Chain A
Amino acid sequence: MQSSRILPAALLALAALAACHKKPEVAPTPAPAPIDSTAIKQHIADSLAMVAKARADSLARAAAEKAREDSIAAAAAQAKMRAALTAMIHFDFNKSDLRPEDQAILDAKIPILLANPGLTLRIAGNTDERGSTEYNLALGQRRAATAKRYLTDHGVADSRLETVSNGEEKPLCTEQEESCWSQNRRDEFTVTGGDTGMLKGSGN
């Protein structure tokens, strides 16, 4: 079938050549191209692989994005816990009693401390610049002890809480007015260990 069709075509081509050229040449008959089914299969396979890879990449990206979001959320949760742990409490002049409005600040620390038994805190008591410089060292220690007692009364192990006094030696603010003094009459809380991957406490 094929050869019978090729022949008249070849004759037509020869006639055309004869009409144009003085020395007609016989054109070589082109060899029919073999059909490569392996390449086609490969092409299909490649396309499928690309789709699969794109899908996998997309999934990985989504997973990474989710992980990143999770990690941000986790970091935010850690930061929030750390903020709760280090939130300061304040005192009235020459007093070391826990003020009712500051009780919630200590309450927020308790579930975190209880959920993370490796967590340790240093509590530093501070005073304002009024009062005797030397007597204030004792007052600062009493203020640190107030916070520690509240936390140990709520189940935090004594050994995890260290108290020190700075007296009036480390003011946050040096203006000579009550708005400044009231900031300086404080307990500072510093996390001293066990704060990697803190677990949320049940109360959080």
Chain B
Amino acid sequence: MTKARFALAGALLALAVPLAAQDTTAQGVHITLQYNVGTRPGVVVLPVAGAGGDSIQTILQRDLDYGDRVNVIAIPDSMAAAVRGGLDSTGKVRTMGYAVFKTLGAAAVIQATNTSRGLHVALHDVARGQVIDVNEFPLPPDSLSRGWRMAVHRVSDEVERWVTGVRGIAATRIAYVRNHAVRIVDSDGADDLTIPMAGAGMSPAWSPDARMIAYSTFGEGSRIVVYTLATGQSRSFGERRNTNVSTPVFSPDGSAIVYTLAGENGSDLFSAPVGGGPAARLTAGGGTDNSTPAFSPDGRRIAFTSGRAGPPEIYIMDADGTNVSMFTDYAFSTRNYRSNPDWSPDGLSLAYQAYQPDSSGVFQIFTMSLRDRTPHQLTSDGENEDPSWAPDARHLVFTSTRSGTKQLWVIDSQSGRLRQLTHGAAMSRLGAWSPRLAP
């Protein structure tokens, strides 16, 4: 009993500080959920009381499921009465009610109530038989709106952190290209929309604060366009005769955009201030192609694709263009093609696309740790391209032909679990996963 009161007091303390600043380990009052390390804890999301409860329960369950760190346990009909029996008249878990969740294999129970003050959420530790975390999350009044759904995703992500210690990635979006228009879809596949376009668009990229999307246009008047989501305004730069610009990426500090400029003599990477100003050349390709830049999360290095040694390979250089070295191994095959690196947000590895060793001309997604440089093949079904890391450095979005036409898919790099993100007759491709979205 003393223990439980202590945990509740800690949770109430946590209520007083802003969500973003919360760090329960630093506060020293957080009790970690008890479950076997190396396994996925079973989690039951109880029916949510209050307005929009069914939708909230569905979103919480789906988000936790898509996070791939817990096993979401559905309550079978045969157990529904027993679960109801374990709750008191206000819907709270009775002390003796934990037995039924143990039977279901749950380590944690999520109990949420939608109140006028917001969504009240409690995390029960089934082994201890007590609440170990509680918080109240504001929800916008317009139920099922884009903003409301995103607010529920943020609850999911915090609950995932309560259970596993790692924040979820449900409150994120993926920018991609369909019919040369840049589109944005929520990480669960909902609320797909297009942004106003200035030309035939390719290669969207998020700013570190997720407030802007940069993309390139090709053909006549090729340029880099920077679109601000809140205002709907676009500005563009880099348009020059006899020039194609492509693959813009923001530096992690948000100050610069690095992009590919292909002109009369091959292509090189350039860096331009986000606010406008002259661009500086980073690579000296000498007539070869140097494209698809990706910053390391600390902003100090850039991985990119270069054809300087013949077949396209992945190189790494310092962010100022010095100290270039080949990252992938050219000697691996004479018909190599490795390209489109994306640096994992934890800084530990690169995802990229490569032809399989048999040079079948079909790309697959690989990851390679910067430490041991051993390629790890993630896909093999259909052709798979354009990997982009989720902010958890665990999931990736990529383009796959496995369902017929090119669509976006999400893979959990640890379990290999897949889900299809986009559908339809038109190709969806060039996905870019956003950072976690602030409210």
Contacts and interface: CB of A to CB of B under 8 A. Distances in A.
A167 B218 contact: yes
B246 A148 contact: no
Interface stretch (A25-33, A44-52, A158-166): A158-166
A138 B244 contact: yes
A137 B385 contact: no
Given A133-B385, A162-B242, A164-B244, A141 B267 contact: yes
Contacts of A163: 242, 264
A149 B290 CA distance: 20
Interface string B217-250: 0111010000000000000000001111011000
A134 B260 CA distance: 10
Contact of B340 (A124, A132, A148, A164): A132
Interface residues of A, number: 25
A133 B218 contact: no
Q: Which of A124, A135, A166 has the most CB of B within 10 A?
A: A135
A130 B353 CA distance: 12
Nearest to B203: A134
Given A135-B305, A166-B219, A141 B361 contact: no
Contacts of B264: 145, 148-149, 163
A135 B339 contact: yes
Interface string A32-44: 0000000000000
B218 A137 contact: yes
A142 interface: yes
Q: Which of A122, A124, A167 has the most CB of B within 10 A?
A: A167
Nearest to A170: B219
Interface in A109-124: 122, 124
Contacts of B353: 132
B180 A169 contact: yes
Contact of B267 (A122, A130, A133, A142): A142
Nearest to A122: B220
B289 A145 contact: no
A137 B263 contact: no
Contact of A162 (B241, B291, B340, B361): B241
A124 B200 CA distance: 15
A131 interface: yes
A130 B362 CA distance: 8
B314 to A, nearest CB: 11
B114 to A, nearest CB: 44
Given A141-B263, A145-B264, A134 B218 contact: no
Contacts of A148: 242, 264
Given A94-B337, A164-B219, A141 B262 contact: yes
B262 A134 contact: no
B386 interface: yes
B291 A138 contact: yes
B339 A137 contact: no
Contacts of A142: 262, 266-267, 289
Contacts of A134: 202-203, 246-247, 260, 291-292, 339-340, 386, 430
A139 interface: yes
B47 interface: no
Nearest to A123: B242
Contacts of B138: none
20 contacts: A124-B219, A132-B385, A134-B246, A134-B260, A134-B292, A135-B292, A135-B339, A137-B202, A138-B290, A139-B289, A140-B244, A142-B266, A142-B289, A145-B264, A162-B241, A162-B242, A164-B218, A165-B218, A167-B202, A169-B218
Given A137-B246, A166-B219, 8 more contacts: A94-B337, A131-B337, A132-B363, A137-B291, A141-B244, A164-B244, A169-B180, A169-B219
Interface of A: 94, 122, 124, 130-135, 137-142, 145, 148-149, 162-167, 169
> Which 9 pairs across A and B sit closest by C-beta, in order of nearness?
A141-B262, A138-B267, A165-B244, A132-B339, A141-B244, A138-B289, A138-B262, A137-B246, A163-B242
